[in-house]
A and B are shown apart, each in its own frame.
Chain A
């Protein structure tokens, strides 16, 4: 039942976002759109409740996690992304690269946490996640490995992705 309610609310919010600006209720929506939205989201919730909430774990409903996620997006993530792009720009112009694939052990347990970290790694300085194994170790393509770090079996996590594993743990686990 909770899965059905969550999926319906999610679909309804998405519908409202897509139809904003259609009428006068709260200055944003028309009556027709709201009625159609409720009808369609109940339908979507009934059909797809077992896909959105497959793990039956509702920890992501906690609003503190959403606030942390937004804080992460506009704070450390955006700064790291801007730095990543200046870094790529520098390497495109000078051609100084020393690439390789290293292994890191972020010590995360849930699928969502690993997805979160892998996407963050791809969008931030000089790193691109390539593969993941059963113990949730990530294989990361690193465009500029510092001298000496290629000899370690597990690369130092602070150098690869600074504080992201901590944020991933806070938001997703």
Chain B
């Protein structure tokens, strides 16, 4: 089935990016660069794993009239929207809190925020 392949591809992309996010978390030197890996890669990866759920549930709804599939798909879309909203806000809060509590970037060529003395 074509739909099965689409789901496998979405899951593959999602897991690849989530894995890269974890590797980045271990490899990068300080909190800010780690946040890059932790927010971007995991948001993108989780969106694709969720899209696989959406495709599966809508396909089940359309093909075999499985009504619980519709509600599962809509709920997953709402989860994706919340993920897109809350993930950058959380990263922003962590980065700001880290900077205010004195955790400076380890390898930085410039730090304008430290210069204004917040």
Binding site for B on A (CB under 8 A): 17-22, 28, 81-82, 84-85, 88-89, 91-92, 95, 97-103, 118-119, 122-124, 126, 128-131, 133, 139, 141, 143, 145, 150-151, 153
Query: How many residues of chain B get a CB closer than 8 Å to chain A's CBs?
Result: 49
Look across to chain A and name the residue whose beta carbon is closest to the beta carbon of B72: A21
Residues of A within 8 A of B20 (CB): 85, 88-89, 92
Q: Report how far A150 CA is from B110 CA in the complex, Å.
A: 6
DSSP class of B's interface residues: helix, strand, loop or mixed? helix
Q: Report how far A84 CA is from B71 CA in the complex, Å.
A: 32
A-B contact sample (17 more), CB < 8 A, given A99-B32, A130-B95: A18-B74, A28-B70, A85-B40, A88-B40, A88-B41, A89-B17, A92-B28, A100-B105, A101-B105, A118-B88, A123-B84, A124-B40, A128-B39, A128-B91, A130-B92, A141-B35, A150-B110
Q: Are A102 and B71 in contact (CB under 8 A)?
A: no
Q: A130-B113, A150-B109 are in contact. Are A92 and B24 (CB under 8 A)?
A: yes
Q: Are B70 and A21 in contact (CB under 8 A)?
A: yes
Q: Are B33 and A143 in contact (CB under 8 A)?
A: yes
Q: Are B99 and A21 in contact (CB under 8 A)?
A: no
Residues of A within 8 A of B111 (CB): 100-101
Residues of A within 8 A of B92 (CB): 118-119, 122, 128-130
Can you list 15 residue pairs at the A/B interface with Cβ under 8 Å?
A20-B70, A20-B74, A28-B70, A85-B17, A88-B24, A89-B17, A103-B112, A123-B84, A129-B95, A130-B96, A139-B112, A139-B113, A141-B35, A143-B33, A153-B112
